[in-house]
A and B are shown apart, each in its own frame.
Chain A
Amino acid sequence: MTTAVKTWPDVHGRFGPYGGRYVPETLVAPLEELEQAYAAARADATFQGELDELLRNFAGRPTPLQFASRLTEHLGPRIYIKREDLLHTGAHKINNCLGQALLAKRMGKRRIIAETGAGQHGVATAAVAARFGMECLVYMGTEDMERQRLNVSRMKLMGAEVVGVNAGSRTLKDAINEAMRDWVTNVRTTHYLLGSVLGAHPYPQMVRDFHKVIGEEARRQILQAEGRLPDLLVACVGGGSNAIGLFHAFLEDTGVKMLGVEAGGRGYQLGEHAARLAEAMGFTGARPGVLQGTYTYVLQTADGQIATTHSISAAWTIPPSAPNTRSFPSSIAPNIPPRATTRLSTPRARWRVSKALSRRSKAPTRWPL
């Protein structure tokens, strides 16, 4: 059972019932081309070697697994922090950006487009585009541009063009729509560098694969440090890329529990939160549906219109969650309790955690809140 989870997706891009490819016809052939190019790259030692070199010398891998001694003292359990914030551009996003940009180069694409919410994915995309000398255009909701001005400047500094999206909720979801509109128009010359484990097949698989290095390193490092596997993994879930990146290497370790933290926003009603996977806790409005190319849990109205979300974090506003993170609970054998459950975080709780982290471990001042 767990093996099946680890080898997902199947040939149709399905993670159990989730995933797939729901796109306008114009995008099907390009997605098939991408799927084939990715399969070939995956099997090519030269590609993997080049990527490893870039991850080491451009991004700064491996990242440390820091023992948070004072936080451990404060809370009890021995706590380690996987310091993805120390990577170039300040977040895990660069792992996937390097992989996809290298693939785009292989496919002969000279133009990169991306969406961004908080700006971390946009900044990472701008950096790799600059590294490869590619034209780069980043779509960003105007609401997000306002609250993440510094990241907008960083993208521009690295030569990217940032396009404000004024449609809908003017946040990440609308930036993705606009990036897909650009891609469907310029598909022959352009690679869409999607930054979350979302979208049509092969994106969820590809983004997961490029991030699974997080968990592979962490697993080696914790075994070295503690001589045993952890009891619990904790990751925040917006689109789900860093969560699946950490969890994936531990999927066959049945003793390791996994906890995803979603944005609890300010209330339980649809529109007040961004929790897709926490219906058991009373958060309403999340049901399986099709959005932006994939079948997954989506915050929506009874009529199937996509809902607005609430989170103080621009990165956590997105209505769908990854098809592959969603698949954990339902995919585990019935005699084993679900291993990936989700908990909510409220703004106040998050500030508290952030303060504790910053003061007691001197860690992530740029923690992706």
Chain B
Amino acid sequence: MATNSTALPKTPATTRIQRRFEELGRRSEMGLVAFLTAGDPSLEATESFVLALDDAGADVVELGVPFSDPLADGPAIQRSSERALRAGATLPGVLDLVASIRRKSDVPLVLFSYYNPVLQMGVERFARRAADAGADGVLITDLTPEEAGEYRRTVRAHGLDTIFLAAPTSTDERLARIAEASSGFLYVISRTGVTGARESLPEDLPALIRRVRRVSRLPIAVGFGISLPGQVSILGGLADAAVVGSALVQEIEQASSVHAAREALGARVRVLKHAGKTGMSRREPGA
């Protein structure tokens, strides 16, 4: 399932992301994508956090490359980016972190960045180094398919998935274009606005997911505002994975030590993953 029929010549699923979603599909299990800002509070700490997330059952880990002007993010991730930058995190440092994690874990890794740091490194150099380090996919927050022609070719040529965002404001025509440019999975933004935990899911989310399904067979991960087991449970009937970010970043902010943060992250992800495996989220096999 879930390979993009229009984007590239048909090849067997090759990235860790694609394989993980195939497994989840076979088990008809809801996936959990966990986001952390790389380097908050340090790159070493992030490494131990990612390993804990993997142990706790996260299916994909997104590593946020900290940026000085994160205009798509709410306060929690903004503060986290500031902490990471103050601690000296840079894109080359994040790529070294990926390599180090990859020596210890097989968890699918997505690099999540604003465009400018990637552009300054050079897209070709970035893609080569990311692939060599063992990353599996890239998502650039402020890059849409229209501006991404060369980026997409370059990143794909290095065997990395290109994940694009779909939004409630995207027209059907745009959704088709986004689906065509994406591989691995589609990241559906649940609501207009910035990242950040919220109490409820928007009412128009099922309609948005139906619109996306009409134009794409890629797995759908829903993010922005997801933090509670109940939300993950409800999403299980609609999407293939839930993305949790701000809630995890806040666990790190509130913890008294790196050790405590690691414990809290593990506990939070176990609860969310459990909600994804049970209750309302259980879907009929093959549905």
Contacts and interface: CB of A to CB of B under 8 A. Distances in A.
Q: Do A and B bind each other?
A: yes
Interface of A: 12, 20-30, 167-168, 173-174, 177, 180-181, 184-188, 287, 289-293, 298, 300, 302-306
A25 B193 CA distance: 11
**Shortest beta-carbon contacts, A-B, top 5:** A304-B120, A185-B193, A304-B117, A26-B167, A25-B165
B168 interface: yes
Contact of A304 (B91, B174, B193, B194): B91
Given A22-B142, A25-B164, A29-B169, A304 B119 contact: yes
B278 interface: no
B71 A303 contact: no
Given A28-B174, A29-B169, A304-B117, A291 B194 contact: no
B147 interface: yes
B4 to A, nearest CB: 18
A21 B146 CA distance: 9
B116 A290 contact: yes
B194 A167 contact: no
Contacts of A168: 68-69
A204 B169 CA distance: 23
Best-buried of A187, A290, A304 by chain B (most CB within 10 Å): A304
A298 B69 CA distance: 13
Q: Which of B71, B147, B166, B189 has the most chain A CB atoms closer than 10 A to its own CB? A: B71
B49 interface: no
Interface string B146-181: 110000000000000000111111110010001000
A21 B144 contact: yes
Contacts of A181: 71-72, 74, 193-194
B119 A185 contact: no
A21 B147 contact: yes
B144 A25 contact: yes
A290 B121 contact: no
Contacts of A291: 69, 116
Contacts of B114: 290
Contact of B119 (A28, A188, A290, A302): A290
Interface of B: 67-72, 74, 78, 85, 90-92, 114-121, 141-144, 146-147, 164-171, 174, 178, 189, 192-194
B121 A304 contact: yes
Contacts of B67: 304-305
Contacts of A304: 67, 91, 116-121
Contact of B141 (A24, A29, A186, A306): A24
Contact of B142 (A23, A187, A287): A23
Contacts of A188: 169, 192
A292 B165 contact: no
Contacts of B92: 303
Contacts of B193: 26, 181, 184-185
Contacts of A186: 192
A30 B120 contact: no
Contact of B169 (A12, A177, A187, A303): A187
A290 B90 contact: no
A293 B142 contact: yes
Contacts of A185: 192-194
Nearest to B89: A303
Contacts of B118: 304
A42 B114 CA distance: 33
Nearest to B164: A25
Given A25-B166, A304-B117, A306-B69, 20 more contacts: A25-B165, A25-B178, A26-B169, A29-B170, A30-B169, A177-B69, A181-B71, A184-B71, A184-B72, A184-B193, A186-B192, A187-B169, A187-B192, A287-B120, A300-B116, A303-B120, A304-B91, A304-B116, A305-B67, A305-B117
A185 B81 CA distance: 21
A25 B189 contact: yes
A292 B69 contact: yes
Contact of B71 (A289, A292, A300): A292
B234 to A, nearest CB: 22
18 contacts: A22-B142, A25-B169, A25-B170, A26-B165, A26-B170, A28-B169, A28-B170, A29-B169, A29-B174, A168-B68, A177-B70, A181-B72, A181-B194, A289-B116, A290-B119, A304-B118, A304-B119, A304-B120
A26 B189 contact: yes
A149 B169 CA distance: 38
Contacts of A12: 146
B120 A289 contact: yes
A26 B69 contact: no
Contact of A180 (B71, B115, B143, B166): B71
A174 B169 CA distance: 25
Contacts of A167: 78
B144 A302 contact: no
Contacts of B141: 24
Contacts of A305: 67-68, 85, 117
A23 B115 CA distance: 10
A26 B119 contact: no
B72 A22 contact: no
Contacts of B166: 25
A186 B168 CA distance: 12
A188 B67 CA distance: 27
